[in-house]
Amino acid sequence: MDGLLALAIAVAVVVIAVAAVALAIGLLGVLRDLRRLMAAAQRTMELIETELPPTARDLRTSAANVERLSGELEPRLERVDALLDEAEATSISLRATVEAAEEIVRGPQVAVDRARRTVRSAGAGLARGADRLRRSVEEAAGRR
């Protein structure tokens, strides 16, 4: 039995040794990955330390520019609004002027149209009268 116990202990020691070697190999892989992770983190921190201050400075400058532009925008919008109001008033005035000019032009045209109608109706009346007179003369001449 002692031999069997010694064999079991030897097998257990071998299994523990193999497990320890596997654990050591796994731990070496983890340590290697951890070393790479630390190097990448270091590079990232260096990049942040070099890029962050200029970026923050640019952002501050941009914010100041936006604030300045927004301050300048309100008076310009008020001027544009006043110009649009003035353009609308000018358009209304121009429309009234055009309507008055049309009335001035239409006045003589209406008189001319009225005179034409009068002349046409007078001419038509004279023609009818002349036609009646001619017929009555022809009738009187035909009766004789």
The predicted structure's pLDDT at residue 92: 85
Concatenated DSSP letters of 103-133: HHHHHHHHHHHHHHHHHHHHHHHHHHHHHHH
* Distance, CA of 64 to CA of 54 (rounded, Å): 15
pLDDT digits (tens, 9 = 90+) for 102-113: 777 777 777 777
Pull the structure tokens for residue 132. Answer: 């009646």
pLDDT digits (tens, 9 = 90+) for 6-41: 888 899 999 999 999 999 999 999 999 999 999 999
* pTM attached to this predicted model: 0.37
**Given a cut of 80, is residue 137 above it in pLDDT?**
no
